[in-house]
Amino acid sequence: MQPISRVEFGPDDAGAFDKFFIDKYVEENNFKILSDNLFSIITGEKGSGKTALVKGINIFHKSKYTHIVNINFGDLSFSAIADRILKIHETSNIDALYLMVNYWKYSFVTEAMKVIIDNKKLHLLPIESDMYNYLVNNDHMNEHLSTRLLNLSDKIVKILEFVTKPKKNNDNNGLLGGITTADLEKIKNFPLKTDKFPALSSEFAEYLSNKQITILITLDGLDILRVEKREDFKKLQLIFEGLIAATYHISTSEKYSTSILLKSLIPYDIYLSLNPRDLDKYDEKSSKIRWDYYSLQEFLRKRITFSIDFKREVTFENAWHEIMPKKLSNTHVDLEENSFDYLLRHTLYRPRQLQVHMQTLSQEYRDINISSDMINDAIVLA
């Protein structure tokens, strides 16, 4: 038996740098299936491995795609965006979710255009020049996608304020607030059917198809978006419902389903809070990150065998018993219990929590062999 402190578990946050990530990555759960293009809406609890999945796709499945764009939404100002959209809804009676979906869809397509231009600065084809000019003219080239969402909602509020100003001899077709039918259509379809975008997006779809270009856009970091006030939860739902619906529409559209591929990593509790009827519709494109007993054993086996040289391939049991006792006494039921089973029961089957417990043991008992009573103490400390 050896001290657990000899094992290099690495950071418990997959977003942190880990030079040995490749050696410890696990696809024995359903990561391999989720890495394929069948599913575009990926759900999972915090600590289930959403960021690790994105990282794994970038390393192990990069060859499947022409380009990969990874977007982290840790700084998304969802409240400001939702406030603007709800203001538009209250003034115009246009469905708020419809607007949110439009903004997400537009943002996906313009992000795909950006990656093409970013990877081809010189000798642009006519369609590429058109894309470049459009992105520059609309300030999209150096704009984070979350900023784009905010700017889009800000623009439409300004349009709404302009068309609702009192006008002389105004013919509003019987609509309140001075909004004409034409104004409503403009607001409703912004920005997907505004100015040059409809023609440009169709040409772009044909360009991607002809050149057999596949662009993967991953969206992660959404676990950080939480609310303290109950009244703000509807705003959060609006952002996520729009994201999920737009992801589904792009992934099933005739235009982009084979060229703009999406992986939207959605917190599972938020996903469950949506309308059940909508969830049924999204089923074909959604799946949940799942870990089971054996995949979590493999998660630990790889970390243990990476750090401790066994001179051969070993089973989980061999690796586990090298650093942990086989049994411990469960004082609550006065029974001996398998040490791994006991630890696993306190993790909700989330790899991050399992790693936190192991790191706690490593930090608290450096260079000391672990005994069963230490495991009980680590559960409390973690």
pLDDT at 174: 43
Per residue in 28-45, pLDDT (tens digit) is: 768 888 888 889 999 999
Per residue in 281-296, pLDDT (tens digit) is: 898 899 999 999 999 9
Are 219 and 330 contained in the same domain? no
Domain count, the chain: 2
Helix then strand then coil, % of the chain, to nearest 5: 55, 10, 35
Are 136 and 281 contained in the same domain? yes
Per residue in 110-128, pLDDT (tens digit) is: 999 999 999 987 789 999 9
Are 44 and 169 contained in the same domain? yes
Percent of the chain at pLDDT > 70 equals: 93
Are 8 and 84 contained in the same domain? no
- Full-model pTM: 0.88
**Cβ atoms 243, 103 nearer than 8 A:** no
Are 91 and 120 contained in the same domain? yes
Are 227 and 312 contained in the same domain? no
Are 161 and 304 contained in the same domain? no
3-state secondary structure (DSSP) of residue 289: coil
**Cβ atoms 16, 336 nearer than 8 A:** no
How far is Cα 4 from Cα 323, in angstroms, rounded to an integer? 5
Is the pLDDT at 319 greater than 90? The verdict is: yes
Are 125 and 266 contained in the same domain? yes
Are 230 and 269 contained in the same domain? yes
Are 261 and 313 contained in the same domain? no
In terms of pLDDT, which residue wins out, 183 or 288?
288
- What domain range is 51 assigned to? 30-288
Q: Among 288, 321, 356, where does a domain finish?
A: 288
pLDDT at 206: 97
User: How many CB atoms within 10 Å of residue 115?
Assistant: 17
